[in-house]
Chain A
Amino acid sequence: MKKSIILLLFSTLLLLLIPMHTHAATNQTKIILDGQELVLPHDIEVVNVRNNIMIPIRVVAENLKFNVKWDQKTKNVNIEQASNAISLTVGKDQATVQNNTVQLNIAPQMIKNTVVVPLRFVSEEMGLRVGWNNRDKIVTLTSNNVSQPASPSHGNDAGTNLVHDITYANNQLVVSLDREVAPVISTLKNPERIILDFPSTNFGNMGQVPSGGSMGRLDVNEFPSVTDIRYSLFKNDPPQVRIVIELNNISSVNYTQQTIAGKFILDLSMANEPAPATPVNSGKKIVVIDPGHGGSDPGTISFTKKQEKHFALALGLKVQALLEKEPDIELIMTRETDIYPTRPERVKLANDLNADVFVSIHGNSVTAAPQISGTETYYYQRESSKALATLIHKNLIDALGFKDRGVKNGNYQVIRETTMSAVLLEIGFLSNQMEEEAMMSESNQNKAAQAIVDGIKEYLKL
């Protein structure tokens, strides 16, 4: 009884499957333009000639909405759109693109009184991207101008996002971006991998930018639970950055993600550690450098009308360049461009990273008393912060020779709410003519950067 029911069900299923299958087999090639299937006229067929999809010029005109001119006498097809123009001739395997002659895989043909042209060639020359799914016989066409409004969730700036830095320490992958973007995260097994795809994202001014097809890698030797972290430009147009984390000896993959101050952080601390005995901190010290202000917050204006935010960033980037050479330091910047992370965001970034050192860089000002000058360094209450402040301050005074305004306790949010050793540096007075001139000079900024690095290294005993 039971068997017969199953048999019945099975045969019904088969019956259902067969027509579907035959349908698919006879189904003619589908063309999908920007996610929408083109509804082709009934009497029109897309044909496959020696693996070239050929479409009737009527489809080019009516469905792709290009300007098509057909000259019956010369058998010439002229296709135009915006600034693109191509000219093909039936039976000729050469075409003209913006007055240059190009070789075609296949010549336009006349089939059943219809002129057909190679779809890929025409589409690509008209600025469309062409994809071909051979199994399902689907051509996907994507226009570039459509891909941009496809990501309007990032506000007014629909341009390409940029990755500035990728680091891994303390079970955290930190990706510094121009602006926040939510990557598509997926996992694969054998071996266990976490794949992060950042849409409309390219590489910015990173140390090593993997060019088309090549791959960048992070050094993960000291992290037993991670086999490999690689990153590449996975797609070109629009760009897409892919980061793959290959995990080692892990029974299940767990992660949490968050975005703080333009940084995407993937926390793998919940991934099963193969050897819980390994110290959580793998030896590298995490240093967060915070160039003050930025973006909508210009800070003060200097004697020669330069904005404090630019000074803070210029010096911060010099500190970054030096610290990135330190093998025992993992460096994270709160900003690498002219953006404004809020103070709570800067604090949260440093705290969530479980950083060892936080250094906020500022320039001082008091226009009502332009004679005032000097370097001062702030900490907030904690003895560890005071020790760090004292060391950096001493190095700054030695390097720049500005007046010593001392190491002081100051109730500032970024050094109060951070939980590690944290200092706020007022390098000098931008309102003082002499000091401003000194602070704007490259050589003094290099000296100041070196002094900050020396102070940090002395404090960390590196």
Chain B
Amino acid sequence: MKKRIYVAIAICAISILAIGCGSKPTSTGPVQGSDPVNTTPAPTANPSEENGESQEIEVFYADDQLLQVEQRKKEITFKDDSEKYSKTYAALQSSDQTELIPLWSNIELLSATFDQGKLTLDVHIPDEARLGSGGELLAIDALKGTFFQFDEVTRIDLLVDGDATDSLMGHVELEHPLTRE
């Protein structure tokens, strides 16, 4: 919640700046390139052979009956470590096979940061993305299976809208952080 307020304040501040910039010579706006998001989509569209690293990873989904998790190999490309984790998360969100259910499909990743073995994932869960008790257990299993394949990740702190909530979807307690057990 706090975070959202900060984001809102930041957006306001940026838009005020932008309005301020508008009256100045127009060249300053685009040159400054204050919004890095605008520059990133281009490389993702291209195959990033030039500067990107590519890696084959295991990604965990639910089977088509939502009974257990299954893993599939997927290739991700990324420029740096932080992108590796966000790309891995993106892989969790979609499957190319209809018989596999991506459990994190509508759950939005707000940020992924890695520091000394701890991967902090901050997500936003729209109401329609909330799973039942079975799905919630499988989703946590899928997340752990997928991220703990990276040896450097020893702990995952899963936050909801920036908060260390007691549960992801109201059935299972959420440990902070999740460990390899």
A301 with B172: in contact, given A369-B101, A372-B65, A376-B134 (CB under 8 Å)? Answer: no
Q: How far is the CA of A343 from the CA of B129 in the complex (A)?
A: 21
Q: Which B residues, 128 to 155, have Cβ-Cβ distances below 8 Å to chain A?
A: 128-135, 137
With beta carbons under 8 angstroms apart, the residue of A298, A342, A343, A362 that contacts B132 is A362
CB pair B101 A365 closer than 8 Å: no
Beta-carbon nearest neighbor of B98 in chain A? A369
| Beta-carbon contact of A362 and B66 below 8 Å | no
Contact, CB under 8 Å: B171 / A362: yes
Q: How many residues of A contact B (CB 8 A)?
A: 31
Is the Cβ of A413 less than 8 Å from the Cβ of B135?
no
- The verdict on A386 contacting chain B, using a C-beta distance below 8 Å, is no
Residue A20 is within 8 A (CB to CB) of chain B in the complex: no
Interface centre among B101, B135, B137 (most CB of A within 10 A): B135
Interface of chain B, helix or strand or loop or mixed? loop
Residues facing B in A318-368 (CB within 8 A) are 342-343, 362-368
In whole Å, how far is A63's beta carbon from the nearest beta carbon of chain B?
Answer: 48
A307 at interface by CB-CB < 8 Å: yes
Query: Do A300 and B167 have beta carbons less than 8 Å apart?
Result: no
B163 at the interface (CB under 8 A from A): no
Contacting pair A367 B133 (CB below 8 A): no
Q: Is B56 in contact with chain A by the CB < 8 A criterion?
A: no
Are the C-beta atoms of A412 and B129 separated by less than 8 Å?
Answer: no
Closest to B171 in A: A412
5 extra interface residue pairs, beta carbon distance < 8 Å, beyond A299-B130, A343-B173, A378-B134: A362-B171, A364-B131, A365-B135, A367-B105, A408-B134
Q: Closest approach, in angstroms, between the C-beta of B63 and any C-beta of chain A?
A: 10
Residue of A nearest to B65 (CB): A372
Asked whether A366 lies within 8 Å of B172 as measured between CB atoms, the reply is: no
Given A301-B130, A307-B127, A342-B166, do A366 and B171 touch, yes or no (CB 8 Å)?
A: no
CB distance from A315 to the nearest CB of B (A): 15
Decide: A367 near B127, CB < 8 A? Known: A372-B66, A411-B172: no
Chain A residues closer than 8 Å to B170, beta-carbon distance: 292-293, 297, 299, 343
* Chain A hits for B102, CB < 8 A: 368
Q: Quick one: which of B64, B134, B166, B169 has the most chain A CB within 10 A?
A: B134
- Asked whether any CB of chain B lies closer than 8 Å to the CB of A426, the reply is yes
Q: B173's closest neighbor in chain A, by CB?
A: A413
A310 to chain B, nearest CB (A): 12
